[in-house]
A = this chain, B = another copy of it.
Amino acid sequence: MAEIRTIDIKKAVLSENTGLADALRGRLNESGTFLLDVMSSPGAGKTTLLLETIRRLREAGIGTAVIEGDIESTVDAEKMAAAGVKAVQLHTGGACHLDASMVEAALNELDLSAYDMVVVENVGNLVCPAEFDTGAHRRVMLLSVPEGHDKAFKYPLMFTVVDCLVVTKTDYLPGSDFDLETLRAEARRLNPTLTVFEVSARTGDGMDAWCAWVAAAVRGGE
């Protein structure tokens, strides 16, 4: 009987991606550029948080460029450009996540020596981006208050792979049934070393602590 050879496509794809991501991190370390991957559901407030974060870090002497990952459109890249932030737009052509090869293509469009940090704004999705290492030094997820506190039960992998959880739109907390303690407990059960921030980009609440974490990561993280 002939031998049957089985190819696990997903495992092969992920393994190739991880190798490429490691190589990308090595290249970024050489140029002294910190790469931050930011993930969330659609509409959790990635662009708004990043605009305010980049503005504050610029005042602290940290220069940032962004890579905007979208299926289509240049809505977010235009917002970045309008704020004077260098942005490279990646269109995934339908794919629901970025991978290391896409991020590498975007980095090739940047003069890395000009930036202390590059932020990847991943495709809005709590599932697939968690599986793909983009070469980032740190991975962050946002969860907005209107989405509800039960997301750690429903999308556990994302909470497991990130270094930091930022609860956004905390100005929606009054009158909502969002239970921060339940979220914190479940997130920490999944990921005991997770750092958690609560911010409102609208009111500025919590922005100091979050920006200090990013600045410390940029300065000491490579």
Contact = CB atoms under 8 A, between A and B. Distances in A.
Interface of A: 9, 41-43, 70-73, 75, 94, 96, 123-128, 131, 144, 146-148, 150-151, 153-157, 169, 172
Given A73-B154, A155-B71, A146 B96 contact: no
B169 A146 contact: yes
A4 to B, nearest CB: 17
B72 A153 contact: yes
A71 B41 contact: no
B43 A148 contact: yes
A201 to B, nearest CB: 13
A73 B71 CA distance: 28
Given A43-B148, A127-B125, A146-B144, A156 B72 contact: yes
Contact of A41 (B42, B128, B169, B172): B42
